[in-house]
Amino acid sequence: MDFLSAKRLCDGLLIAFVLMLLVVFSTQAWADGTKEITPEERNRQVMNVTLAGVGVVTAWGVANWDYFSRKPLAKSEGWFGQNTKEGGVDKLGHVFATYAAAQGISSLFEHWCFTPEEAAWFGALSSFAILGVMEVGDSFSDYGFSYEDFVANAVGAMASYYRYRHPGLAQKVDLRWEIGVHPGQMDITTDYENSKYLLALKLNGFERFNQSILKHVELHAGYFVRGYSDASAPDERNLYMGVGLNLTDLFRRSGHNRVATFLNYYQPPGTYLAVENNLSH
């Protein structure tokens, strides 16, 4: 996956979130989450959100990504090998995009009076469908359909479903994206040289730790690459383990629930100590 393809993926992620915001603020079927919803109304809401997402992705793809400009093409791009285009970090981008969009859509569905099980299931399906259509659209362009991207989308959808269905797990584990802004780098959405994807284990989610000083601590395991988008630098694939501050708990205890929720998905740079292992050596 080249630089332009990486940009397309992140544009798609932004489109998904913009779509969710538009749905939240413009829908005529707003509910307070306390009334029962009929199966017909539930199915209609799922269809509306999914078709809206698919429509936005398709229109954007035709206008900007040359959808339907060639015969369909499918290919394998590999996973996390040294000689892949982005060292595999783009696959984690697909996982995170589908996961984050599914979490947001599931939350929206639950507000519309879906049961938690329904919200988790239909949110994951809707997100997978939207990101899946993007991948199918790629097959009719120079990008081509990627088997690995499609599988990564499925992993992200399943991860969202499982986390949403198990609140106890959500209190313990986050999947996050870290992006640090370098001077002069305006388009952070395509900055793989400055991105990391990680799992965070939050100790305050465990009863034995949530009344001690360790409630402010979380453990990180992450992956990032360097050099793949910079022809002047060697290509590096890196794993890291870290110990960080539990900012989600800190902000939630301070009453800033929206910030705390945002930090379930975003990792601020400089808030942890890490040990790195360069896999390319």
Q: What is the pLDDT of residue 222?
A: 96
Question: Per the structure block, which two tokens stand in for 221?
Answer: 């395991």
Same domain for 133 and 259, yes or no, is no
Q: What is the pLDDT of residue 86?
A: 83
Same domain for 104 and 220, yes or no, is no
- Quickly count: other Cβ atoms within 10 Å of residue 47's Cβ: 12
Same domain for 258 and 238, yes or no, is yes
Q: State which residues of the chain have pLDDT below 70.
A: 1-34, 65, 181-191
Same domain for 116 and 222, yes or no, is no
| 112-140 pLDDT tens trace | 889 999 999 999 999 999 988 888 877 88
Q: What is the pLDDT of residue 224?
A: 93
Gap between the Cα atoms of 123 and 3, Å rounded: 29
Same domain for 103 and 198, yes or no, is no
Same domain for 29 and 156, yes or no, is yes
Same domain for 41 and 127, yes or no, is yes
Dihedral-angle region of residue 61 (phi above 0 means left; psi in -120 to 50 means alpha; beta otherwise): alpha
| 210-248 pLDDT tens trace | 888 998 999 999 999 988 877 778 888 999 999 999 999
Same domain for 32 and 125, yes or no, is yes
Dihedral-angle region of residue 75 (phi above 0 means left; psi in -120 to 50 means alpha; beta otherwise): beta
- The number of folded domains in the chain is 2
Q: What is the pLDDT of residue 30?
A: 45
Same domain for 21 and 154, yes or no, is yes
Which residues have a Cβ under 8 Å from the Cβ of 253 and sit 6 or more positions away?
Answer: none
Q: Write down which residue in 138, 165, 192 finishes a domain.
A: 165
Q: What is the pLDDT of residue 32?
A: 53
What residue numbers bound the domain in which 214 lies?
172-281
pTM summary value: 0.85
Q: What is the pLDDT of residue 133?
A: 87
Same domain for 106 and 238, yes or no, is no
Q: What is the pLDDT of residue 115?
A: 92
Gap between the Cα atoms of 24 and 20, Å rounded: 6
Same domain for 139 and 179, yes or no, is no
Question: Per the structure block, which two tokens stand in for 142?
Answer: 């120079």
